Chain A
């Protein structure tokens, strides 16, 4: 694929912000990304936002951020999923020739509601939901299949992240050269929870686009979405194989996505990758996941 430039990145901190509204929080991240890119909102052709109604407690909840993402009388697509997926979609709309400059924004305030209650609603209503399953319980099941202790619940976190993509750049910037994403089966009993075929598939697609034959050799470092502590090891083993534990541990950043809110985590990984690639050359992988036990998986490859 034609490389997509990442012109700017911005994010808030992820401390709980019970007093701050979603629009103000998103505004801070957008302003930071515009400033980082040296652009104004007039330079932006379209936006892809990532958020979820149930977490925001609003129907069509991107309504609340229309003005702060500059979407009045402008195009916006709203992905109801992880921000890394929104970045992939933004890159595709540029590849399609629809837009030149796309702002990608993700937000969530997990302090607003009841994550256990909301994630119970993710499970099918007939068989799994009545069991009281939620993301924490499902992750405990996954950890047990790996012979690990039940994971700690995710800390409450609020924040927003934004990046600006373009097909062209006046200056050399880290560029997105590969992307892939996939869904696994839904029923936990159908899945081998010690593995993630969806992550393998997402990575395969990203490597194909990025012309990467040997990820162990070609990937310089990795930023993983590890909302639960056991996940870093699991995702790394899926990406690089159980036998190369030393290599993947070395490549896997110590920066954890624990404490980054849902929907923001994947985009935050991408921002982490971009910031590091501004200081050192290499090829890096940003990872995002969402849904029970990482049913949804996304991989983006960035090179500088």
Chain B
């Protein structure tokens, strides 16, 4: 494959409600910042890939209205929508478009403005003949899968709460993050309102308004435009069966993430992910999921995820910092959340992550999660 690198990223400030901007302006904000970061103008962008879940805002073909915010006027625009993985799938699509040789510069922008729509109504549009007869919602469904994971792995509410604390404390150093809670503690997480046993309010991701952009360049352009580009080394997608009941102990096995990571590691030549990867930005919709993803990603043996957080291995100063940005637990504009993972991983490689920069990042991992168990995995590297 042709070599392609991320040469710039840009995000809006993510908040509960951005009443001061339209969706188009929100997208324009992220786009403008990414262009400035890459040191290019919109005229140099050859193609655009967008990511958004239209039902959340009640839009049909939202790129028709919002596309101009990404400079889409008379340019090739493709919109990707695959649920929670929309953002990472758009990043993989943008990478493929750039690696095709047809385009030198490809812009990917994801956005969601949950405050403008009825997210719960959108989420409730599941299979009308099956799931729609049962009010479980995303929280209830996670809680079900978590009960299996807890039963088999013995992770504790305290260990999950540590994940929630890590995310919000990291977010306090990320000016774009939605939930910045420097003073959060394990006790406060466990005292927060119970949503669905054993998931507390502070174990869950929020809904945010926000947009995030990533700019890819083909090899020659990347080398000219960026002193330390983040090269794409692997991009793998795995989808799974349509109903939650089809999946054998979803969080325990998480076969899509396991298989996608295995293939990505193989392509890059990674045999010991915990040692070799310098930073990871993973899509953790709920605290417990991050523990399950540690196992699926091969950061630890099965049943060892709780120990990983107890030992601080994935904290900012640990062996493999996970989600220095604060992750999805701190910021979640769904169509943008996957793009944020890739943007943050790239910014770490480029050395542009600001106050949440991890030292000497050469190899970074980004993942996407969506639907019941769909996964994307991308690996970026310096050089």
Binding site for B on A (CB under 8 A): 1, 46, 52-54, 57-60, 62-64, 66-67, 71-81, 85, 88-89, 91-93, 95-98, 118-126, 180-186, 197-198, 201-202, 205, 209, 290-292, 295-296
Task: Select which of A64, A89, A183 is within 8 A of B63 by beta carbon.
Answer: A183
Binding site for A on B (CB under 8 A): 1-2, 22, 24, 53-55, 58-61, 63-65, 67-68, 72-83, 89, 92-93, 95-102, 116, 122-128, 235-242, 255-256, 259, 370-371
A120's closest neighbor in chain B, by CB? B60
Determine whether the beta carbon of B82 is less than 8 Å from that of A186: no
Q: How far is the CB of A91 from chain B (nearest CB, A)?
A: 8
Task: Sample 13 A-B pairs with CB under 8 A, ordered by A number.
Answer: A53-B81, A67-B242, A72-B239, A81-B63, A85-B78, A92-B97, A92-B102, A96-B97, A96-B101, A98-B96, A183-B63, A201-B75, A292-B64
Q: How far is the CB of B53 from chain A (nearest CB, A)?
A: 7
Determine whether the beta carbon of A92 is less than 8 Å from that of B371: no
Determine whether the beta carbon of A183 is less than 8 Å from that of B2: no
Which residues of A lie under 8 Å from residue B55 when comparing CB positions?
53-54, 59
Determine whether the beta carbon of A186 is less than 8 Å from that of B100: no
Determine whether the beta carbon of B75 is less than 8 Å from that of A183: yes
Which residues of A lie under 8 Å from residue B72 when comparing CB positions?
183
- Complex CA–CA separation, A202 to B76 (angstroms): 8
Determine whether the beta carbon of A186 is less than 8 Å from that of B241: no
B240's closest neighbor in chain A, by CB? A72
Determine whether the beta carbon of A184 is less than 8 Å from that of B74: yes
Task: Select which of B53, B67, B240, B241 is within 8 A of A53 by beta carbon.
Answer: B53
Determine whether the beta carbon of B53 is less than 8 Å from that of A126: no
- Complex CA–CA separation, A33 to B236 (angstroms): 25
Which residues of A lie under 8 Å from residue B370 when comparing CB positions?
60
Q: A75-B238, A183-B73 are in contact. Are A80 and B89 (CB under 8 A)?
A: no
Q: A63-B371, A67-B242, A183-B74 are in contact. Are A75 and B236 (CB under 8 A)?
A: yes
Determine whether the beta carbon of B78 is less than 8 Å from that of A81: yes
- Complex CA–CA separation, A1 to B77 (angstroms): 19
Determine whether the beta carbon of A71 is less than 8 Å from that of B68: no
| Further contacts, 9 of them, CB under 8 A, given A53-B125, A59-B53, A59-B126 | A72-B240, A75-B239, A77-B82, A92-B96, A93-B100, A96-B1, A182-B77, A185-B68, A209-B102
Determine whether the beta carbon of B240 is less than 8 Å from that of A121: no
- Complex CA–CA separation, A66 to B24 (angstroms): 31
Q: Indicate the member of A54, A59, A81, A89 with the most B CB atoms within 10 Å.
A: A59
Which residues of B lie under 8 Å from residue A291 when comparing CB positions?
61, 64
Determine whether the beta carbon of B1 is less than 8 Å from that of A183: no
Task: Select which of B60, B96, B126, B238 is within 8 A of A93 by beta carbon.
Answer: B96
Q: How far is the CB of A270 from chain B (nearest CB, A)?
A: 16
Task: Select which of A75, A186, A205 is within 8 A of B237 by beta carbon.
Answer: A75
